[in-house]
Chains A and B, each alone.
Chain A
Amino acid sequence: MSEITVELPKSEPTSRSFLGRVKDSDLLASFLSSKVTVVAGALTLIFFLAAVFAPLIAPTNPFDPASNFLIDSLNPPRFVTGGDPRFLLGTDDQGRDLWSAILYGLRVSLLIGVFGVLLGGAIGITLGLIAGYAGGRIDSIIMRIADVQLTFPAILIALLVDGVVQALLKGQNREQTAFGILVISIGLSFWVQYARTVRGSTLVEKNRDYVQAARLIGLSPARILARHILPNVMGPVLVIATINLALAIITEATLSFLGVGLPPTQPSLGTLIRIGQNFLFSGEWWIVTFPSITLAALVLAVNLLGDWLRDALNPRLK
């Protein structure tokens, strides 16, 4: 997808840990200084809490087909004339309570986003560290793969992975495979940015005295990478991860539209929007509007947090 270039503060020769830098950058103060950031942070927190506690908050379980009755379908929201008091945001075409569906959908979207980002991060950081530390042929091969990878955005990879999985596991249940397909596709397409950033930092760090010293006393490369270099590259990684989380959620929604996403029986926010857009012309506006607003607010909040984090961790932008 897009490439977010995050640069390490090169000017500051540092061997301080990530936490140390966090303290130095007055993260908390800068967080509180911007109202927008505070609102975004609060929103993100609310969304995460809502997702975690969805089963406790939601009046019904939209994933349980026995709890949706067709007879309740297409009810407008409670606050609109003709609305049913049982359904705060109305119901969809299957009689599913939209409020519950959004809460559960939020959970699914965030799970896919977080797992996708974790997978991408794990791949990217590992390859980036190896490339930066080993250098030479290994470095150039890994970076070449990264170049090629950039050509294939998540959408393309997901379609290919889906095509392959479908062909291999004929008639496998979508509910079981879709989640994995989405996480793998997102992970596979988002690792490059981590790899590039981490490699860059590693190149800088590995020539520093403390690393040379660690080498001299015979620490294994794995240990050096994990103990000494990794903590120093966590700042930019965190920034990429935040921005990628927003991208991952949007990507999942798009894939749902293309028919690679989650099945309608276990809807994510993206699936809800895909279903809802069928009712856009017919007056049942709530089916698409509420999930879209939720998705947009979530992505916006996470994006704003990412922006702030980037500025806050980059001393030159002060």
Chain B
Amino acid sequence: MIAFIIRRLFASIGVLIAVGLIAFVLFRYIGDPVNQMVGIETPESERVALRQQLGLNDPAPVQALRFLANAARLDFGISYQFKQPVSELIGARMPATLELAFVASIMSLVAGIPMGVYTALHRRSALAKLFEALSLVGISLPTFLIGILLIYLFAVTLGWLPSFGRGDVVHIGSWWTTGLLTKSGLKSIIMPAITLALFQMTLIMRLVRAEMLEVLRADYIRFARARGLSERKVHFRHALKNTLVPVITVVGLQLGSIVAFSIITETVFSWPGMGQLFLQSVQNVDIPIMAAYLLFIAFLFVIINLVVDLLYAAVDPRLRVAIHGA
């Protein structure tokens, strides 16, 4: 078990280093960092000095190592466009994105699971057909268009919800901010979260439906039925419980992609998160931010993956055996 954890940890670090090297190549070779930092009229002598100071004349492996070492200390340098440390910029934007991703995940679970269960149990009913059709329409329209339509309907026409931003935020601790404790913050998160959740909801609904159908055909369900347990008990005590394990896994692994997907949602709703920052930095060729964002996404993924792996190992005895056997 310990060996397994250690192995996974090493693998995770390997992944991070690999992504870190990609980020370094981005940083070092896409555009000249010095050109990006100084003005047009800066004389050559000052450029040379800055080049020396930044260590850009060292051999590439030395530079790569330094980049990784700095990254490990969360030092990604200074953003070309904002003249601020990248880690501070990303740190200030992170709560907004994580909060949005979290609320969107909850929404997609709360809506997706019941719809999935219903469509699996009542495959031929009209409501099930409606759910399936709706979920398909949801993923057949581009996210940005859904966002704009929501704004048009709920912000402009009905005036119920704010069209942009995060509302009022409350500071928790030294750096975390939350909009979930204020009225305007809660109102602000509804539309972006729905927009972001729609795709995941469809995914979850279809996954639950497929798993449920699979499980319902399994022997132990038949036995349960044969024992005379009520349908309700069979469905919820046995079938759903067994369905949820893969669902939770997928949802966990999807968190990374929700965060990345928020680029679109954040742009439409001017949500002050990392996705918007990343898009701006792509448009402005602000390589330090791009590199740091890349690493952040990889880091998030590695953490989630590790947790999922460990949970599996803890929950599933067969896997434990397999690990020991391997």
Contact = CB atoms under 8 A, between A and B. Distances in A.
Would A and B touch once assembled, by the CB under 8 A criterion?
yes
Interface residues on B, range: 35 or more
A148 B203 CA distance: 20
B98 interface: no
Given A144-B15, A250-B140, A163 B279 contact: no
A300 B199 contact: no
A2 B203 contact: yes
Interface residues of A, number: 44
Contact of B267 (A144, A258, A299): A258
Given A167-B31, A168-B30, A257-B142, A156 B264 contact: no
Contacts of B300: 151
B298 A151 contact: yes
Contacts of B301: 147-148, 150-151
B282 A281 contact: no
Contact of A299 (B140, B143, B144, B199): B140
A281 B156 contact: yes
Contacts of A184: none
* Majority-rule SS of A interface residues: helix
Given A152-B297, A258-B267, A280-B148, A295 B253 contact: no
Interface in B1-34: 11, 14-15, 18-19, 26, 30-31
Interface stretch (B176-184, B255-263, B314-322): B255-263
A277 interface: yes
Contacts of A304: 136
A257 B140 contact: no
Interface string B200-212: 0001000100100
Interface string B142-185: 11110010001000100000000000000000000000000000
Contacts, number: 117
A159 B142 CA distance: 17
B214 A316 contact: yes
Contacts of B261: 153, 155
A295 B145 CA distance: 12
Contacts of B139: 246, 250, 299, 303
Interface in A121-169: 144, 147-148, 150-153, 155-156, 159-160, 162-164, 166-168
Interface in A278-318: 280-281, 288, 292, 295-297, 299-300, 303-304, 316-317
A148 B15 contact: yes
A273 B145 contact: yes
Given A3-B250, A281-B156, A296-B137, A148 B142 contact: no
Contacts of B137: 296, 300
Interface of B: 11, 14-15, 18-19, 26, 30-31, 136-137, 139-145, 148, 152, 156, 199, 203, 207, 210, 213-214, 217, 250, 253-254, 256-257, 260-261, 263-264, 267, 278-279, 282-283, 285, 290, 294, 297-298, 300-301, 305
Closest 9 CB pairs of A and B: A151-B301, A299-B140, A167-B30, A253-B142, A300-B140, A257-B144, A296-B140, A2-B203, A151-B256
14 contacts: A2-B254, A3-B253, A148-B15, A148-B301, A151-B256, A162-B282, A163-B285, A167-B30, A167-B31, A258-B263, A299-B139, A299-B140, A303-B136, A316-B214
Given A5-B207, A295-B141, 11 more contacts: A151-B257, A156-B260, A160-B26, A166-B285, A246-B139, A277-B148, A280-B152, A297-B140, A299-B140, A299-B141, A317-B213
Interface of A: 1-3, 5, 144, 147-148, 150-153, 155-156, 159-160, 162-164, 166-168, 246, 250, 253-254, 257-259, 270, 273, 277, 280-281, 288, 292, 295-297, 299-300, 303-304, 316-317
